[in-house]
Structure 1
Amino acid sequence: MVFASRRCNGTNAGLTYLIENNKKIIKMPVYLSEEFLEWECGEFINHRFDFSIGEHKFLVLFSPIDVSDVGYHALRSEEVGFSLPSDSYDVKFDRLENFESDNFYATPKKSDLGGIGGIAYLEELVDALTHIITLHCNTYQAKSYLMLAENMRLKQFYDRVLQRSFDEVLSYVATNLGEEGKGYALRTRYYET
């Protein structure tokens, strides 16, 4: 697998804080990549964005949806309730160690949690994913995103992410898609009806 990269306006956000109930709460240091890693897979170019919160490393993968296969395109479009244009992506989010070990979406052992959990940590994750999706949309002019939560815990997290305002990027959000209701379809400002 050969990686290339595309420069974007990512940031290395340092130590930030939040005022809550008149108390200054230190949030964990957040690192965001400064570029998307790109690699070819057949006729498609996939995108990867790495980030960390504290000592915990994560990645987001953006894989183009094949709209040239008529049957597959019809199936996926029916699944989300609108016609998927080119520049539509499946989005996957996981811990980096799961990705590197091919043990996708594995829950961390309690001994590995070290700081994972709590409202402040979840808010950092939500902020990071909101930023990364916005950055990807602005960098690649993505027209739509599809996400499937692999478990109910991840679904609850995605629900929390989508409560954030994406007004500058998202024009439509469909939730609870698929047989188990764990799918999402997001149309961006670049989607043309």
Structure 2
Amino acid sequence: LNFLILTALQSEAKPIISYFDLNKDPKTHIYSNKKIFLLITGVGEKNVINKLKSLELKGSSWSKTVILNIGIAGGNQLDTKIGNIYLVNSIFDQQSEREYFPDLIINTALEEMPMTTVSEPLINKDCSLRGLVDMEGGSIIKTMSPFVPPHRLIFLKIVSDHFKSSDLKRI
């Protein structure tokens, strides 16, 4: 199997690049070694879709690929703890009002959590959303689902804040 790791931000990618000793291809901007590839998508639906489309999605190589989205997310303070990592078990895309379900066939010690994908940051806004909140997950699963089965779409989110800018200093 090959692994394609997707992060929105360079700061999310940096420790992964270092740990796996990934090298950047100057033409594609994809970091890789023989089996692990990493793409920094940028924040939000438009950036994610543009970056993923640049991968030439039509092709047989996706049949042996695991997509792993790793990054930060906001979290409801009743459900999450800042600094904890969660395995996403459902993604509600607020813009399209569609819900997606990664097929979690592996057992982990990670706590599972639902996630909502929004189109703009919720920092310092009154937020009643439960679970996790990000700006990329819905676009990733919507774009990649036709090419990769749901059991090979994995979303790991580290809670950076409870929708307050003062929380960001704690990480």
* More contact order relative to length (CA 8 Å, sep ≥ 6): 2
Task: Report the structure number with the largest CA radius of gyration.
Answer: 1
Band of TM-score, shorter chain: under 0.3
TM-score by length of 2: 0.28
TM-score by length of 1: 0.26
